[in-house]
Amino acid sequence: MENLFCPICGSRRVSPAANGIYMCASCDNAFSFTKEVTYAKTTADIYKASVECVLEINTIAGENESSGTGIIISPHGYVLTNAHITGEAMTGVGNMKNYCDVIIAGRRPREILFRAELIYSDKAADLALLYCAEAEEMPALKISYSTVKTGDKICVIGNGKGEGLGIVDGIVSDTCREIGGRKLMMISAPVTTGYSGGPVLSADGEFIGMVTGGRDGETAMNYAIPSVTIRKFLASAEKKAGIRL
């Protein structure tokens, strides 16, 4: 044991845990000397690593204003959100336009708005793809191919009440619930209005789904579109809109 040291902080305060895993008493990380270092990410770690990939979205249709969240999913400026967020504001009803205003995280002041154009949408799946030139070359979230299990810990980043980006956490309450003919993931994270379109992130920070809504009055019964549905939508968008993500 005298020759062991923590590969993360260099401390020699190392002790065996179980199954070849060691714990460092100095930095509280777990690791293996035979495998790649693995340690749990905190909610703060996940937020810091992902927030630049998330946008605040504001839409106006006539006299009605609404807010939501968008996810940069391509370095070419493409942004994923919910079709119900874009709604009338981007379908020619009311103010007759096919764009909305977005705020890019980390760009201050927040009063500076950028324009995002509607490229493709699927109302049945509640998914919409936008293009924002200012989002080009920004960090993008990659869709996870990992298996999601009931009970897995998750975090959600979103534009709650239109007041700016924040993060909440919870678990996957059920990996598959059929709601209105759609197969959705149920999550316990207490998301509010404005979190729609926000990424659901695993304990490792992987993009595993996107918030689509919840039950009125039930803070722990919210729903997310799973990654498999998102991948199908994006493949359809590339084909039908003639774009490359």
Q: Check the CA dihedral 223-174-153-75 and report its sign.
A: negative
Cβ partners under 8 Å of residue 19, min gap 6: none
Q: Quote the pLDDT of residue 59.
A: 76
Report which of residues 31 and 80 the model is more confident about.
Answer: 80
Euclidean distance between CA atoms 48 and 54, whole angstroms: 11
**Total Cβ atoms within 10 A of residue 212:** 26
pLDDT value at 22 more than 80: no
Strands (E), 143-193: 153-158, 166-179, 182-187
- In the predicted structure, residue 201 carries a pLDDT above the cut 80: yes
* Mean pLDDT of the region 57-70: 77
- What is the rounded average pLDDT of the residues 153-179? 94
pLDDT tens sequence across 80-136 = 999 998 875 555 444 445 677 787 765 555 556 788 888 999 999 999 999 999 889
Q: Which of 15-19, 63-67, 108-112, 138-142 is least confident?
A: 108-112
Model pLDDT, residue 86: 83
Mean per-residue pLDDT, 5-26: 73
Handedness of CA 55, 158, 232, 180 (dihedral sign): negative
> Does residue 245 surpass a pLDDT of 60?
yes
Report, as an integer, the average pLDDT of 169-174.
96
Measure the CA–CA gap between 232 and 19, rounded to whole angstroms. Answer: 39
Q: What is the DSSP string of 22-69?
A: EEETTT--EE-SSS----PPPHHHHHHHHGGGEEEEEEEETTEEEEEE
Tokens found for residue 219? 């803070």
> Which class for 105: exposed (0-12), middle (13-18), buried (19 or more C-beta within 10 A)?
buried
pTM of the model: 0.79
245 closest CA partner among 227, 101, 233, 209? 233
pLDDT score recorded for residue 183: 96
User: Angle at CA 134, nearest 5°, toward 130 and 138?
Assistant: 90
By mean pLDDT, which of 20-29, 119-128, 149-158, 182-191 is the weakest?
A: 20-29
| Percentage of the chain lying above the pLDDT 90 cut | 54
Kindly state the tokens that stand for 167.
């993060």
Q: How confident is the model at residue 4 (pLDDT cuts 50, 70, 90)?
A: low
One-letter amino acid for residue 27 of the chain: C
pLDDT digits (tens, 9 = 90+) for 120-161: 999 999 999 999 998 898 899 999 998 999 999 999 999 999
Contact by Cβ (8 Å): 159, 69: yes
- How much of the chain, in percent, has pLDDT values that exceed 70? 80
Domains of the chain, start order: 50-140 (2.40.10.10), 153-232 (2.40.10.10)
- Across 203-229, average pLDDT: 90
Q: What's the rounded Cα separation, in Å, for the pair 215 and 221?
A: 6
Residue 172 has pLDDT above 90, yes or no: yes
Q: What average pLDDT does the chain have? A: 84
* Residue 166 CA neighbour count, 13 Å, CB half: 15
